[in-house]
Amino acid sequence: MNIKLKLIYLILILTLNFSCIEKKSIENGLNKSEFVESSKNDTLKFTSGIRAIFQDSKGNYWFGSLQEGVAVYNGKSFIYFNSDDGLSDNQIHNIQEDKAGIIWFNTQQGVSSYDGKKIVNHTKADIEKSQTTFPIQITKPLNGQWMKSDNDLWFEAGTKEGVYRYDGKNLIYLAFPPHKVLNHYDNLFAVTGISKGKNNMIWFATYAGVFGYNGKEFTIINDETLGLDRNIAPLHIRSIFEDSKGRLWIGNNGIGVLLREGDSIINFSEKNNLIHPASGKKGDTSMPGTLEHIFTIAEDGEGNIWFGDRDTGIWKYDGVKMTSYTKKDGLSNDNALSIFEDNKGVLWFGMADGKLYKFNGNTFEKQL
What are the extents of the domains in the chain? 1-173, 176-368
pTM here is: 0.85
- Asked if pLDDT for residue 105 goes beyond 70, the answer is yes
Give the mean pLDDT of 26-51: 60
| CA–CA distance, 68 with 272 (Å, rounded to integer) | 37
176-368 belongs to which CATH class? mainly beta
| CA–CA distance, 366 with 160 (Å, rounded to integer) | 37
pLDDT at 183: 61
pLDDT at 224: 87
Is the Cβ–Cβ distance between 360 and 366 less than 8 Å?
A: no
Give the mean pLDDT of 23-42: 42
**Mean pLDDT, the chain, integer:** 85
| CA–CA distance, 54 with 73 (Å, rounded to integer) | 11
Is the Cβ–Cβ distance between 191 and 230 less than 8 Å?
A: no
What DSSP character marks residue 363?
Answer: S
331: how many CB neighbours lie within 10 A of its CB? 21
Is the Cβ–Cβ distance between 365 and 330 less than 8 Å?
A: yes
| CA–CA distance, 235 with 175 (Å, rounded to integer) | 21
pLDDT in tens, 47-57: 999 999 999 99
pLDDT in tens, 199-254: 999 999 999 999 999 999 999 999 888 988 877 888 999 999 999 999 999 999 99
CA-nearest of 102, 200, 218 to 150 is 200
